[in-house]
Amino acid sequence: MATSSDSASLLDYGRNVTNGLGRITEGIMTSGKGSYVEYDDGRKMLDFTCGYGVTSLGHCHPKISKAAADQCMNIVHAQCNIAFHEPYLRLIKKLLPIMPDASLDSFFFWNSGSEAVETALKMARIVTGRQNIICMQGAFHGHTFGAMAVTKSKTIYSKGVAPLMPGVFSIPFPFWHQLGETPDLPESAQVARCLYQLDLLLAQQTAPADTAAIIVEPVLGEGGYVPAPAAFLEGLRAVCDKHGILLIADEVQSGFSRTGKFFAIEYSGVRPDILIMAKGLANGFPLSAVVSRKELTDKLASGSMGGTYAGNAVSCAAACAVVDAMHEENILSQVNERSSELFSALNAIKTAHPAHILDVRGRGLMVAVEFATPAGPGAAHDAVAARDGVAAQMASRVAKKCIERGMLILTTSVYEVVRFLPPLNISATDLKKGAEIFREAVEEVIREG
């Protein structure tokens, strides 16, 4: 184990790390157990980030870590273009019964979410013989070139990088703020506007016969933690069915019990043609999956898919243990119980500070609070957020104060949004503690003005 003097000299090498990588805390994270992580200087932090929604069953879950360690002693790298390995096939056996639709029966495992998105786009082009892709304004799909092209949440991800993958078009996602509206715009009106824009897009910019796929996050993540209304997903499905377009559900962040169902798309009952998952799938080991129908994947030439590390044996063994733990520990009911506790704590803060908090939203334990932004030149066309007497940059200031008080938490989107991604098996006591830290941080920022 590193001593603090080792750490001090190690930290010097931080200057050799690319500036392109941002970080929300200083120092070296040395260990993690359950809902907490520790730093080399003795700081112990409650982790409401799960490392961007990955360690959903807590850090170093004993069963998952053991499954990975045991696999390390059998075979680590049984390359997927050379042979099957046992955890790969065992994982498919465990995933098949929990897929949101029985038609999703053909699997390809990758490492990261971005790679899985690339594969889904590539597959959609091959199997439809069409080129164009429709994505959502506010969407985030990753840092690689195709994924960047369908990412519309912030310009920072692709600024200075163009040209990106061509053939990408976007429509608004049903999120009042994104539509320049107020939170009280009825959901049905938001959905109607977005589906109308889709019809227009298909009439004006990308002909259905040129359109391969629509890609959507069932809960908009980096765009602000907005669940897609069922009627919107049903509308997308209907358009896809009418025109032979494939519907891709990106459940990289919302999948694997995060929202209180195994997959967030289950809330709508809509069947995607391709489903992408990652993050919570292997609780920290790099693993993603692209799942589709065999009837579609049979159109792919053998050898057209692959990847040196794709579907790593240790990651697959960990993912098998994740699925087992989700069943054995009754994770879905824990998520739903903690979710209602979190919503009631956050709504109480909103009630106490109605001028500062615009919205509490999300699903399961993928939850966000959006703050108002102050009136000023930058807010000239904003229908809702420009309020007099509201503190500036509340989201980042509140997140910073939470960190100072011992809780890791993230902001998201171009709006003033703090997001809550606690472990799915967090105790009621730790959840309450996190909500209380957040309340104190909000009230301190409001006092400071």
Residues engaged in binding ligand PLP (CB under 6 A): 52, 112-114, 117, 140-142, 217, 221, 250, 252-253, 278
∠ CA 178-183-188, nearest 5°, is 80
Q: Which of 253, 274, 67, 3 is nearest to 142 (CA)?
A: 253
**Maximum distance among all Cα pairs of the chain, rounded to whole angstroms:** 65
Residues making up the chain, counted from first to last: 449
Nearer to ligand PLP by Cβ, of 259 and 373: the residue is 259
Alpha-carbon distance of 270 to 160, in angstroms, equals 37
Nearer to ligand PLP by Cβ, of 112 and 259: the residue is 112
Q: 100, exposed or middle or buried, with CB in 10 Å at 0-12, 13-18, 19+?
A: buried
Nearer to ligand PLP by Cβ, of 141 and 293: the residue is 141
**Closest distance of CB 360 from ligand PLP, Å:** 20
Specify the pairing of strand 106-110 against strand 288-292: antiparallel
Specify the pairing of strand 36-39 against strand 29-33: antiparallel
**Closest distance of CB 306 from ligand PLP, Å:** 18
Nearer to ligand PLP by Cβ, of 23 and 447: the residue is 23
CB 24 within 8 Å of CB 399: yes
Nearer to ligand PLP by Cβ, of 80 and 252: the residue is 252
Nearer to ligand PLP by Cβ, of 217 and 273: the residue is 217
Q: Which of 176, 140, 136 is nearest to 359 (CA)?
A: 176
10 Å Cβ neighbour count for 161?
A: 11
Nearer to ligand PLP by Cβ, of 113 and 374: the residue is 113
| Tokens read off for 53 | 């929604």
Helix or strand (DSSP H, E) at 359 = strand 357-363
Helical packing angle, 394-404 and 428-448, nearest 10°: 130
**Closest distance of CB 241 from ligand PLP, Å:** 24
**Closest distance of CB 219 from ligand PLP, Å:** 9
Alpha-carbon distance of 73 to 70, in angstroms, equals 5
| Tokens read off for 66 | 């053991």
User: Residue holding tokens 């019964």?
Assistant: 97
Alpha-carbon distance of 280 to 290, in angstroms, equals 14
Identify the DSSP state of 427. -
**Closest distance of CB 141 from ligand PLP, Å:** 5
**Closest distance of CB 342 from ligand PLP, Å:** 20
Nearer to ligand PLP by Cβ, of 153 and 211: the residue is 153
Residue whose beta carbon is closest to ligand PLP: 113
Nearer to ligand PLP by Cβ, of 215 and 317: the residue is 215
**Closest distance of CB 45 from ligand PLP, Å:** 21
